Amino acid sequence: MVQYHLLTAVRCFVVVSRRGTLDLSAVTAVVLDEADEMLRMGFQEPVEQILSHVKSSKQMLLFSATMPGWVDAVARRHLKNPLSIDVVGNSKQHTPDTIKHLSLVAPDNNLNSRGQLIGQALQQLLPSGGRALLFCETKRDCEDMVRHPALVACT
């Protein structure tokens, strides 16, 4: 059985550093997703503090769309024999030709308007079915969007 904790960097920092109520000594794996975004949002100190409380023999996975200096430094400091997978390289084309990006402007910020617009776009782009990724700003937006009738009709 795997026991896991899913925490934001700041919440983990608070319970580890300030309250001392979370013991990380038994942690065997750490996953940092969107590491470049963590740096951009000012989470460098909390992440570094959290990693200092985890034993050095942990398995660590670090995912980042870009490799700014801090992300690279964290990787060198905390990873042993890191494997870096660069899906873009020096190419100016960052997306395979089989992937389509679509940006839609909703008439207002109303969830219903956005859901209708996205549902119509999906039906036009994928009339025979297929797969699409839809990114929302918050977890609540995601939960509301997957229940939207226009999107449910696409499934």
Which structural domains are found in the chain, ordered by start?
A: 9-78 (3.40.50.300), 111-152 (no CATH)
Angle between helices 69-78 and 44-52 (to 10 degrees): 0
Residue 2 vs residue 93, higher pLDDT:
93
pLDDT at 48: 80
Mean of pLDDT values over 99-125: 81
DSSP string, 70-83: HHHHHHHHH-SS--
pLDDT at 24: 78
Q: Is the pTM of this model over 0.75?
A: no
- Residue-wise pLDDT tens digits, 117-127: 888 888 888 87
Q: What are phi and psi of 11, to 5 degrees?
A: -60, -45
Q: HSE, CB side, 13 Å, CA atoms: give it for residue 116.
A: 8
CA gap 24, 105 in Å, rounded: 44
Q: What are phi and psi of 59, to 5 degrees?
A: -90, 130
Write down the mean pLDDT value for the chain. Answer: 77
Least confident of 10-19, 54-63, 146-155: 10-19
